[in-house]
Structure 1
């Protein structure tokens, strides 16, 4: 078997992939997919794969496709190598944007890329910069190298078990690629009578603190919910502000309490998520006038390790009720002081407000108008919206329409969920877990540490779902939710193949490249570990599995 020079091959493959613009979501992701298949096939080894090619993403508005390559071994047991090939935009590079896909050129501008005071681990020459260098075209290059290595081995001997590579589109947007892969894996397992050992995802991991010498492996991943808040104030002229309520003020008070509040961090197995942050906030005025903004909204990024959608919703509702109550009392006190200062009687009418979930608001409107009427009204609103409208915006418009049908008046807060939803995935036991532990224990010199939850959002969220996870609070409070089995698929709807994910129930590991600065202009991958040590360690995982299957 021809010996693989890991470093040389993976560096070259990474540079070739980085050179292709593949921002998600867009048609250009297909250019990267084609290059991946070309790399898998180079040097005439296409015929060595049992099967390979593209798997189109069903009903995708951009016509995107995943890439797969399969090597049939002596046994039905199958190891899955996973990675995504899309990236975020390059506008953050500023004046250097024209070089953002050229690692060689960026190497001459490292001082401009790095924030003042930033220190790189080790020698600068050990780092390869560029959009996608860390997140995660280098990880895909590692998988390609491993797959080519195994294909070459299959020339002289049958592999002891099967291996399936899947490279997915769209991880950075709504994970359409891995959701397509869920269908592919389910079908592939049935058609080819496979037994999946688990998934090795090679997305980047980074140091947890300055000077951290460790390289991290994760046996699960964090989840994510996107609670959203429609804040209803009350209209009034700015010259008479006490006659209404500024919806921006209400939203600001909620954001002040929620954003960067570690009391809302989720904890489990010795790990704690970062606090929530807002990803978007705005009032809903479309033009200048002197009317108080009476509607605003924002959505909140919340990472989870153990909390269910119902638990988070209840926690946010309780805090929202308290914040709304405190705000209204504060406005009353302010009005009293103002009235005294202007010589007016200080008698003030008590203000009242309410906090509702979307499901509660829906039930209230149905009780007034009937289910059929409410369905028709929301369907008309849905159909009037552009097909490619952002799902967060579509959700907002549906909630606003439902609020208008309720004939309620503010102040109020309506809490609902918007896409996407990422289930958190805990650690799983099995042969793959045993093999990974064996390799970690065999290499103390590499300072490897295994933790349970990968701290960043990842496609592996969609490969396992606890059968006891109650997501009814999610689906009932997500205006654009559509059951995966429901036909036809509505434009702009959001669905997840939950039953298929539970059927797969795959053990997942993220053991990827060592990188830094993902989604920032100083994104980079550390080459000595990522291009040489990592692929050898993963090849040893393969060997450890082989030993356990004898």
Structure 2
């Protein structure tokens, strides 16, 4: 067993002390701190080309990744394990008046001791076993564990058969520009040093899955995340003649009722199941107040997947949207008839019918109807829209669909389905390949070796339940699945682009062995020391040794 607790605690505090909120200059600062620290290790002083600080590509923000590697001298193997973890954190606004202490674990816990707290939280605040602070759980203690192992093997390369690569990436909490840029360096090193990447080990946080859950989880593979989005058009009318039009917000509300928390949209795989989709935004696109109903509405939903492809998700949601449209029209007619009976005004037959199409289907229709005039207009529109820096990828996509809709000849109410943000691919580690089987065997071996000396059960599950950069080192989707993403994202190639071939070129099985704690992304974010600072690095080390022998 490695005696590593004090060293990892020291690294953890160093990293937490740097406020590295995503999309701020703090990401630049922590990259510089980490690069300077690694460069100070004697191995890297003697081998300065083995550590890099590299700026991200195609990124609106200036920020950097830090990558380093140690070549083992125990044998001649080219087998290489990638250790990965992110440096950025979410913001600190939730700390309110304590924001200036959020990144100081020693100071923030003293402030918490002054507060009136629930009993369980009070016990953690008063305990020496827990540490608090922004990023301490998500995931700087995990990164510190990886940093320790890099330093250890840089001092003991004779114990390392094969090679160890550290990737410390930025921007995990937003757009994953960090890991997507780091793929280039990993590919270069693969060619220059003949690295044979056999596995990646992420160190993102793990938490109880339910109240009273005593397990400490290790995850094979990860959930995928999509952001299915819906542009909904109605029929505009004056609110005084409301039944002469169709409010798109009315359809949107029914769509959310149909999709939100719907167990039929949970994806089961390998005996595990995703949580159902839930709305992340619902709005109309009226720029200001008028007494007319909106022309269009916009909604999007979080959608987790284990085994479904992006193409299958579109097919399933197209069905759900049709049901919602049908239900909303039925309810509209029912209420219109009742109003007519109450008011004595005549009821006119409602002629609208449900109409749902994907963005790809609408785009193909418009190309067929208008040809190069439409294509040229949309190209110019998208380029000019990029000048509006207030638009994120999601709102940018909505505006593109809104503009394309203006070219539709048939403007009867419709729902247009598309993707408006980054697809974080699912990774299924099922043992189909030799690399996957070796990694699963190494993980089982490591847990079997460490478990007897640790009091809480260490449980292995198949899918990391949160979004992480694990999604960008392997790809379970085929080409058709990825095309469904690119063909149905209106911002693809302008506001948003991912070279999924870079991921295929690395395509290494990945697991997550990370720190244990509670309340990540919240004010009382905290990390349990024993598992995080002792068990995690030793588990990781046993996996490394097993894989490289």
TM-score by length of structure 2 reads: 0.92
Please give the alpha-carbon distance, in whole angstroms, between the structure 2 residues aligned to 1:474 and 1:386.
20
Decide which moves more: 206-215 or 453-462.
Answer: 206-215
Per-residue Cα deviation, 1:494-547 (whole angstroms, up to 9, x for no partner): 22222222232201011111122122222111112101222122222233335x
CA 1:80 to 1:373, structure 2 compared with 1: closer, same or farther past 3 Å? same
Cross-structure match for 2:65:
66
CA apart distance, 1:440: 0.9
Cross-structure match for 1:486:
none
Cross-structure match for 2:377:
377
The match for 2:443 among 422, 436, 444 is: 436
8 Å Cα contact 1:332/1:350 also seen in 2: no
8 Å Cα contact 1:134/1:513 also seen in 2: yes
Per-residue Cα deviation, 1:181-230 (whole angstroms, up to 9, x for no partner): 22221121011111112101111111122232221111100101111001
Per-residue Cα deviation, 1:50-78 (whole angstroms, up to 9, x for no partner): 61121221232222111011111242111
Cross-structure match for 1:463:
473
CA apart distance, 1:136: 0.7
Cross-structure match for 1:94:
96
8 Å Cα contact 2:44/2:50 also seen in 1: no
SS of aligned partner of 2:463 = coil
The match for 1:143 among 140, 146, 153 is: 146
TM-score by length of structure 1 reads: 0.92
CA apart distance, 1:469: 5.2
CA apart distance, 1:111: 6.6
8 Å Cα contact 2:366/2:407 also seen in 1: yes
Per-residue Cα deviation, 1:455-492 (whole angstroms, up to 9, x for no partner): 1111111111136352222221111123xxxxxxx4x2
Per-residue Cα deviation, 1:400-420 (whole angstroms, up to 9, x for no partner): 011011133242111011111
CA 1:316 to 1:439, structure 2 compared with 1: closer, same or farther past 3 Å? same
Which runs of structure 2 are paired with 1:329-368 in the superposition (5 Å)? Answer: 329-368=330-369
Cross-structure match for 2:492:
481
CA 1:203 to 1:143, structure 2 compared with 1: closer, same or farther past 3 Å? same
Q: Does the alignment pair 1:423 with 2:425?
A: yes
CA apart distance, 1:179: 0.7
CA 1:12 to 1:158, structure 2 compared with 1: closer, same or farther past 3 Å? closer
SS of aligned partner of 1:67 = strand
Cross-structure match for 1:524:
526
Cross-structure match for 1:220:
221
Please give the alpha-carbon distance, in whole angstroms, between the structure 2 residues aligned to 1:95 and 1:129.
16
Cross-structure match for 1:487:
none
8 Å Cα contact 2:160/2:545 also seen in 1: no
Aligned residues: 533
Please give the alpha-carbon distance, in whole angstroms, between the structure 2 residues aligned to 1:171 and 1:141.
16
Cross-structure match for 2:284:
283
8 Å Cα contact 1:358/1:414 also seen in 2: yes
Which runs of structure 2 are paired with 1:150-299 in the superposition (5 Å)? Answer: 150-154=153-157, 157=158, 159-299=160-300
In the TM superposition, structure 1's runs of 4+ consecutive aligned residues that sit over 6 Å from their partners are 111-115, 120-123
CA apart distance, 1:316: 0.8
Tell me, which stretches of 5 or more residues in structure 2 are unaligned? none
8 Å Cα contact 1:467/1:502 also seen in 2: no
Per-residue Cα deviation, 1:238-292 (whole angstroms, up to 9, x for no partner): 1111011222111111112211222211110111111111122211112112111
Tell me, which stretches of 5 or more residues in structure 1 are unaligned? 483-489
8 Å Cα contact 1:466/1:502 also seen in 2: no
Please give the alpha-carbon distance, in whole angstroms, between the structure 2 residues aligned to 1:110 and 1:469.
51
CA 1:257 to 1:111, structure 2 compared with 1: closer, same or farther past 3 Å? farther
